[in-house]
């Protein structure tokens, strides 16, 4: 992976002339068309746009869970383009935290076990893993719910556990796909407060996809996509 490392000065995220085409049978469906985007270190960026504009696809490329048809994606100093699936998995476990719209906690695990999950891929001892997971839960204000299962938590609490899971490995980049899309306004505000805290106090670079203008207003910058092209 060392050969693909790029100087950090290129920014936290650098998307260069990326095309993404999906194939349905023999039909080509272009989603991103020569898109370029730079997200500086410590930036909180909101990606907006109508459904089908390619926001989530772009986010997936940045998170390393999908690969571009052409172009280059550099995140946290690593060019993701040439990485194999296994290398991408390893990279994700160390460099990026993902926050989903529907939290996606593992139902059979309690809060602290869910947060601990990414740490299972590290060399940390059981005790260290547990301590870090509890610290992450403390940061999101849910230390007292560590033994609760997802079904015993409210939507806002579940999303906070999911955020704790995203930050527990201390990634430099957080990507969030409509993190407030399934929450009431109060819970949404709490989640956005948390994200702002991670951005301001912990220097995390955040790329957030949202439809919600109020959520987007919390970001430093807002970019709009239309039909796979950035318009602003």
Partner 1 sequence: MKFAPLVLKHLRKNWIRTLSTVLAMSVCIFLICVLQTVISAVNFGLNAGSTRRLVVRDYVSLANNLPITYKQKVAAIPGVTDTCIVSWFGGVYRDPKNFFANLAVEPEAFLRIYPEVMLPPDQKAAWLSDVRGAIIGRKLAQRFGWKIGDHVQLESFIPPYRVGKPFDFLVDGIYDTDEARYPGTDLNSMYFNFKYLYEATGQRVGIGTLTAQIDDPSRAGVMSKAIDESFDNSDNPTKTETEQAFRASFVALAGNLALLLNLIGMAVAFTILLVTANTMSIAVRERQQEIAVLKTLGFSSTLVMTLILSEALLLGLMGGLLGILFARGIIAVLVNVPFLGDILRGFPGLGLSPQIAALGVGMALLLGLLAGFIPSILAYRARITEALRQV
CA distances from 202 to 123, 195, 199, 205 (A): 23, 10, 6, 9
- Shortest gap between Cβ of 232 and partner 1 (angstroms)? 26
Rounded distance between C-alpha atoms, residue 8 and residue 154, angstroms: 39
Work out the end-to-end distance of the chain between its first and last CA atoms, rounded to an integer number of angstroms.
33
Q: Is residue 25 close enough to count as binding partner 1 by CB under 8 A?
A: no
Size of the site for partner 1 (CB under 8 A): 28
Residues 96, 124 contacting (CB under 8 angstroms):
no
Closest to partner 1 by CB, 102 or 202 = 102
Mark the segment that binds partner 1 (CB under 8 A) among 47-55, 88-96, 133-141, 217-225: 88-96
DSSP character string of 52-113: TSSHHHHHHHHHTSS--SEEEEEETTEE-TT--HHHHHHHHHHHEEEE-TT----TTS-HHH
Closest to partner 1 by CB, 7 or 107 = 107
Rounded distance between C-alpha atoms, residue 194 and residue 178, angstroms: 15
Of the residues 5, 70, 126, 185, which one makes contact with partner 1 according to CB under 8 A: 126
Pairing of strands 221-226, 44-48: parallel
Q: Is residue 113 close enough to count as binding partner 1 by CB under 8 A?
A: yes
Mark the segment that binds partner 1 (CB under 8 A) among 5-13, 40-48, 104-112, 199-207: 104-112
Residues 99, 175 contacting (CB under 8 angstroms):
yes
Q: Is residue 3 close enough to count as binding partner 1 by CB under 8 A?
A: no
Closest to partner 1 by CB, 21 or 109 = 109
Helix (H) or strand (E) holding 205: strand 205-209
Mark the segment that binds partner 1 (CB under 8 A) among 120-128, 140-148, 201-209, 219-227: 120-128
Q: Is residue 159 close enough to count as binding partner 1 by CB under 8 A?
A: no
Q: Is residue 2 close enough to count as binding partner 1 by CB under 8 A?
A: no
Binding residues for partner 1 (CB under 8 A): 60, 63, 65-66, 85-86, 89-94, 98, 100-102, 104, 106-109, 113, 117-118, 120-121, 126, 165
């Amino acid at each position: 992976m060392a050969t693909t490392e790029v100087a950090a000065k290129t920014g936290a995220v650098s998307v260069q002339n990326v095309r993404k085409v999906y194939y349905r049978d023999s039909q080509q469906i272009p989603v991103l068309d020569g898109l370029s985007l730079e997200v500086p270190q410590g930036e909180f960026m909101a990606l907006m746009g109508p459904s089908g504009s390619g926001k989530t696809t772009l986010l997936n490329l940045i998170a390393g869970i999908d690969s571009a048809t052409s172009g280059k994606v550099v995140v946290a100093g690593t060019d993701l383009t040439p990485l194999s699936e296994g290398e991408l998995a390893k990279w994700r476990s160390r460099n990026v935290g993902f926050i989903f719209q529907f939290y996606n906690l593992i139902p059979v695990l309690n809060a602290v076990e869910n947060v601990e999950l990414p740490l299972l891929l590290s060399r940390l001892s059981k005790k260290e893993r547990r301590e870090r997971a509890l610290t992450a839960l403390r940061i999101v204000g849910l230390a007292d719910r560590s033994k609760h299962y997802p079904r015993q938590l409210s939507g806002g609490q579940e999303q906070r556990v999911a955020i704790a899971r995203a930050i527990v490995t201390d990634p430099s980049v957080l990507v969030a796909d409509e993190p407030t899309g399934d929450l009431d306004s109060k819970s949404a505000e709490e989640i956005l407060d948390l994200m702002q805290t991670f951005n301001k106090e912990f220097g995390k670079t955040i790329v957030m996809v949202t439809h919600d203008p109020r959520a987007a207003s919390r970001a430093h910058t807002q970019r709009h996509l239309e039909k796979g092209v950035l318009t602003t």
